[in-house]
Chains A and B, each alone.
Chain A
Amino acid sequence: MKVVPSRSSDWVRPVTSQKPASAIIEIDRVSQVFQTSARNDHLALSDISLTIEEGAFVSILGPSGCGKSTLLYIVGGFVSPTSGAAKMKGQAITGPGPDRGPVFQEFALFPWKTVLGNVMYGPRQQGVSATEADAQSRALIEMVGLKGYENFYPKELSGGMKQRVALARTLAYHPEVLLMDEPFGALDAHTRTRLQNDLLNIWERDRKTVLFVTHSVDEAVFLSDKVVMMSKSPGRIREVIDIDLPRPRRRNELLLDPRYQKYVVDIERMFDESDHAGSLL
């Protein structure tokens, strides 16, 4: 297991920033067993250890069913691991909290609230005054590109718009870590690309820590500082790859960049190899 020193000055994040980074999330030998029937247990995660530094964009990449969501839910505090522990800033995670903001593939918006009502929900819950929450939320809605849709209900929005609202709703209560579970997985390719670009633009402004689950290699490389590759049955960490590409990243430049292409090809090859290894078993 890699140990990251707790003093931030001892460690400097490789790529972009010169800021010293410290561990914000530590996942320590986490395993998760699901009981699938009276007799059978399914080992969804096996002995996962991972440290995520503050301000890093980290993707968890792996085939469907390898336990990516489960790992994210454990960090979110929605699921407690069978063994091992996850920590946020040194504190054991025992439940959900506003320091970790989830964005789900299913959007999970409150359908009885308008766009504005959804975005205001978190700040209001945190005790922000109505006028202030209103102003902040309108600004966020504009930031995610939905100005003019404040009074629409989720029902009236397309999938991409819903995910924009979900992102704004989570950003509105200022979580220290964003937990995104295949947030663009339900969207068509064109919409997905647009949301990836916009997410990067938003992220590059304030560099919140992001834990981003995806099964798309392109998406992981394009967005991340670090890609955590997982393998299936049981879910394990296969490889952790630092993505040493300059920021701010622009899609049109990056797609032509041989370094980007090499990352994508290398990671895809590694998955192919593990697939073959799997089929030989």
Chain B
Amino acid sequence: MDMQVGPILSALRRHKAGAVLIALQIALTLAILCNALFIVHQRLSHLSEPTGLDEANIFVIQNEWVGKASYAQLDAEARADLEVLRRLPGVADVTTSNSYPLRGAGWDDGIRLHPDQLTDTTGATVYFADEHFVRTLGLKLVAGRDFRAGDIGVMAAQDRLDPSQVIVTRALADTLFHGDTAVGRTLYLAGSPATIVGVVDRLQAQSVARWAADFAHRVVIVPRRLTSTLGTYYIVRTHPGQLAAAMRAAPAALVARNPRRMFDPRMGVLSFAQVRERAYESDRGMATLMGVISAVLLAITAAGIVGVTSFRVGQRRRQIGVRRALGATRHDIVRYFLVENLLVSGSGILLGVLLALAMNLWLILRFGMQGLSPAYLAAGVAVLLLLGQAAALAPALRASRVPPVEATRAG
């Protein structure tokens, strides 16, 4: 089969402007499409990352006290609250902490392996916990032991953080000890030594920000109840199917015990599903935006190809008639315009691949994005090749219907 590449190329050289414009448009679309889809994919894969919690059965209460009280009073109030919640029907266990995974804010601190180290070995999220924390969250202890009631201390935000024992996540243990046994080892948290008594399989940090991606599962759990005048978080785990009922009953029960408190109308009581929803709102928004931009770009490019091809077909009706008179079949005419499109798209795509890599490099340097995976490049190339051929097909078919007798018409 004769693809006629030579003559099509020489004819194209005499009509550069349209071809170059389309090629550039395709190149730009490819570059943006590859990078946008790559970003979308990265954001979305992040979205379904498990926290390590028994998410389906957990809800969180943000409790704010009204009026002044001493730290000792605040701790007593909190413990009374935990007892009330624990007695609610459907509730399996309750704990209190300064934060929880995906909340977006909390306590981060530096971890060192030696007291005289000049810089931190790593940063880590610090969760304050009592002896119910591991069980309430549904964490899986893979080594060592859980905290006992006697381990738990009380501290205020301005106090020094100096627990003698901690539980760490496997991710943090691996970062610190590269696979060696962690239980029994000492780490320095904010300068104070602490012995690792347990390792949990998985527990996500409070931040889902992109800069924190490397630290997403480096967590240290300290046996302290943090009392704060600002309030605290109660994390409640229910028996399966009891979540909604417990969520409704909990605030009323707390208010009945002590009415001098507030729950934020939007954030006061959240199921963990809602927590997750909020945490990734901007990621989802970003992904949607990128998707819409990609779709619009593709549509514009397709429209451009349809337009230019239609214009060229209209311009060359006489020539098409002459080709038909000289023996071209309808197939030959369709093929002519498809090959022409392939040549234009092909050069645009070559340029687009280079442009996509350049754009990715810029994103790496400027925003620390990851290297574009070749699969995305390949997918982008395939999409634009198909788009080009599909967009050229309708005008090409119209061209093939130009009758041979067109060759004899004057004009």
Q: Is B one of A's binding partners? A: no
Q: Point out residues on B near A: beta carbons under 8 Å.
A: none
